[in-house]
Amino acid sequence: MIIAVPKETKFKENRVALVPSIVKDLVAKGFSVNVETGAGMNSFFNDEAYKNAGANIITDAQTIYSTADVVLKVNAPQPQEIALMKKEAILVSFMWAATNTELVNACVSAGISAFSMDAVPRISRAQKMDALSSQANLAGYKAVIMCADTLGKIFPMMTTAAGTIKPAKVVIFGAGVAGLQAIATAKRLGAIVEVSDIRPETKEQVQSLGGKFIEVKGDDTIKMEGGYVKGVSEEFLKMQQELVGKHVAEADIVITTALIPGKKAPVLVTEDMVKAMKFGSVILDMAVEQGGNVVGSKLNETIQLNGVTVIGEGNIPSLLPMNASDLYAKNIQTLLYHLADKDGFKWEMEEEITKGSLIVHKGEKRI
């Protein structure tokens, strides 16, 4: 079975789907691996490292796609690249199929099968395949570092001969994987951390990391599915905004992480809340690529709103490409070993992981 790793073409994408150590393991198990020239350079893995691991270096993108049995990517290929794939070939990447009908239709037209890394079910035996968590974990760490670099003051309390510096206050919206890592990182740097999450069960996790939980009483409009919030009423969001507003006004840094799969990100920080913040404070909107949690944030831009710096970086894991690629490669390798061996895919259609992550099967939609 020929596995192909094309170069990522998305704007500001530095990750790569496989790293040399994983290529070496795949080759040892009987797979053939083709890597496009320069595919790993932005992640600091050169062609020589892939060659030494047993990969074939291919200079032409068209050849990479047209000869592959399996294409592994971080971001899905463009429709014109999918059209190059041979019939019944297999794509494994992030797809975000619920909001990307053009991509799904391209897979159907090409007669291929496609597995989406963001659709791998969040069950205990699929933890090593959970690319959403591995990437969000890194993003939560990096988000705090980015804010610390932007803020004009230090995080910890410091007593000096010239006086005492008060600790910075960080407010984090969302205690998922990214939010929890952000809490831990901000606490390690010495900040006071306050956290808002509409799921009351996260309170204990927040407190275990040293954060203060801002409790908003939930109601039956909150819909949960697979560990994600799938829906919430406008009334509840308004109530949350009112309660959290005073905490935001006192914050030096606000980090928002709330996403609803398949839908626009909920607005958590309003224009009035931004106006109430201190001059020189910082907001980082981790949901900016899906519409944003912060009114006024702009994708891949850092802007000023009433003296508040608003960071809208759309691909934070890509800023840590060595670690992000290494973890993603392990996620995708584990999924591949679950689905196939060197002789082909098992196609266990009712098996939970296969059923959850398979978006298109031999040209037929499954969502």
Give the Cβ contact number of residue 213 at 10 Å.
17
How far is 89 from 70, CA to CA, in rounded Å? 6
Helix orientation angle between 131-150 and 177-188, rounded to the nearest 10 degrees: 40
Residue 213 has phi, psi (to 5 degrees) of -85, 125
- What's the CA angle centered on 68, arms 367 and 352, to 5 degrees? 35
Q: What's the DSSP call for residue 67? A: T
Q: Is 133 a catalytic residue?
A: yes
Q: Choose, from 93, 113, 133, 240, the residue flagged as catalytic.
A: 133
- CA atoms of 305 and 274, how far apart (whole Å): 7
Catalytic-role residue among 25, 122, 199, 366: 122
How far apart are the two ends of the chain, measured CA to CA in Å? 27
Q: In the chain, what are the helix, strand and coil shares in percent, each to the nearest 5?
A: 40, 20, 40
Q: Which two tokens stand for residue 133?
A: 């968590």
72 in Cβ contact with 97 (< 8 Å): no
Is 207 one of the annotated active-site residues of the chain? Answer: no
Q: Are strands 228-231 and 223-225 parallel, antiparallel or unpaired?
A: antiparallel
Q: Which two tokens stand for residue 100?
A: 């990307």
Would you call 47 a catalytic residue per the annotation? no
Q: 47, 69, 130, 197: which one is catalytic?
A: 130
Separation of alpha carbons 144 and 199, rounded Å: 22
Number of Cβ atoms within 10 Å of the Cβ of 48:
10
| Residue of 62, 109, 127, 208 with catalytic role | 127
Residue 149 contacts by C-beta under 8 Å, 6 or more apart in sequence? none
The reply to whether 60 belongs to the active site is: no
Query: Could you confirm whether 341 is annotated as catalytic?
Result: no
Cα(257)–Cα(265) distance, rounded to whole angstroms? 9
Which residues on neighbouring strands pair with residue 171, listed in sequence order?
194, 254
Question: Active-site residue numbers?
Answer: 122, 127, 130, 133, 228
